[in-house]
Structure 1
């Protein structure tokens, strides 16, 4: 369970970022459907990325989704030495997305309060 916490934080941060950038209808459509499907396709949950390979696999390896899945797989199989290299990707993305969400939300709050006066 501890291994999936960084992935959970990443998705929470992504939801906060979407909520800061988009209106409520857009958030429901994008975060609800698009992010779920994109993360499923790019994580290798539904199919083995080795089957496709090439550029698609390379792009997937640059994103946090496949690394979160790999970390969970390693935890389940008891291969603990391989968990942290995978989690560093997820933690890095989570921090960047969370900081961006905080900065954008703070900017919009300050900017919104100035325009309403």
Structure 2
């Protein structure tokens, strides 16, 4: 594991999660665009955890599995994440679509306390 952090259950702390993941990507010398992409995707999955899980906090972990950077956000909700087809004028509902399109892989897993949503990025040669 490269790092882990508990994020309070308030929208204003999403920026802290973004910086945390970006800093790890930079510190571990991930490929050029990876810190920014990891930052964006972290924002999406942590925001979803805060918006859709009623119970705080959110646990964020960053792992390295060979060439892959894996970022995971665990929350205490058993609600299944759903990719939505947001209408063009909607101001939300595109987060998991962004995660799906920009990541190498993504998914979610139930755990004894709720669920974890994760994504992988090819970060190292």
Does the alignment reach a TM-score above 0.5? no
- Higher relative CO (CA 8 A, sep ≥ 6), structure 1 or 2? 1
TM-score (norm 2): 0.29
Give the TM-score of the pair, scaled to structure 1. 0.31
Q: Which has the higher strand share?
A: 2
